[in-house]
Chain A
Amino acid sequence: AQSVSQHNHHVILSEAASLELGCNYSYGGTVNLFWYVQYPGQHLQLLLKYFSGDPLVKGIKGFEAEFIKSKFSFNLRKPSVQWSDTAEYFCAVQYTGTASKLTFGTGTRLQVTL
């Protein structure tokens, strides 16, 4: 079955700390990969996406993610977090032939303290 795992459920960091959130997906052929962010009380917004090409993708607000095909991983990173990064982060995978549906991970709640 197609599934996406996010290992960290709740992460607490101080401002300026570095961030890495893990995401692994089950094998299912060609995939498109996404990270979405949900700020408190708001809708999902796209942070970044990977379809093909350079496996290191840069997104908005200083976030980046690296696709490692051999590890079925797409980890999200940011060198220095800010208080305003406090949010829920979702990894999502689109498997080929699934009519564009997104399979989401369980989400990681990031709390950044001052």
Chain B
Amino acid sequence: DTAVSQTPKYLVTQMGNDKSIKCEQNLGHDTMYWYKQDSKKFLKIMFSYNNKELIINETVPNRFSPKSPDKAHLNLHINSLELGDSAVYFCASSPPTGAFTEAFFGQGTRLTVV
């Protein structure tokens, strides 16, 4: 059973397109995240949701819009894709704050914008 699953695993698209990446976790966690890993492997948080509520929104272009239909899902929609959006996007989840807050990561989505 995959704990945190993302689809698709690979995504190649042209500049200017709109695309979505889906994430689901079956761990019963309340908090979910999106992290971006750039070409130099640097990982940085983009967003975090707790029980469908946005709690972290780092400096991310507003072309990126997260959506959490329920606490087990956190999708990432990207409008007007640019070359610089090429990266690996990781979804993660963690238990409620106050408990051990280890994050569990998905397999990643490699986005290539051409």
Contacts and interface: CB of A to CB of B under 8 A. Distances in A.
A94 interface: yes
A110 B50 CA distance: 35
Nearest to A101: B45
A99 B97 contact: yes
Interface residues of B, number: 26
Size band of the A side of the interface?
Answer: 20 to 34
The interface residues of chain A, by DSSP majority, are classed as strand
Given A32-B101, A43-B105, A90-B43, A101 B48 contact: yes
Contacts of B56: 98-99, 101
A34 B102 CA distance: 8
A4 to B, nearest CB: 10
B68 interface: no
A113 interface: no
Contacts of A43: 90, 105-108
B45 A102 contact: yes
A104 B48 contact: no
Contact of B90 (A44, A101, A107): A44
Interface string A53-86: 0000000000000000000000000000000000
25 contacts: A32-B101, A42-B107, A43-B90, A43-B106, A43-B108, A44-B43, A44-B90, A45-B105, A49-B100, A51-B100, A90-B43, A98-B56, A99-B55, A99-B56, A100-B94, A100-B97, A100-B101, A100-B103, A101-B56, A102-B43, A102-B103, A104-B44, A106-B40, A107-B41, A107-B43
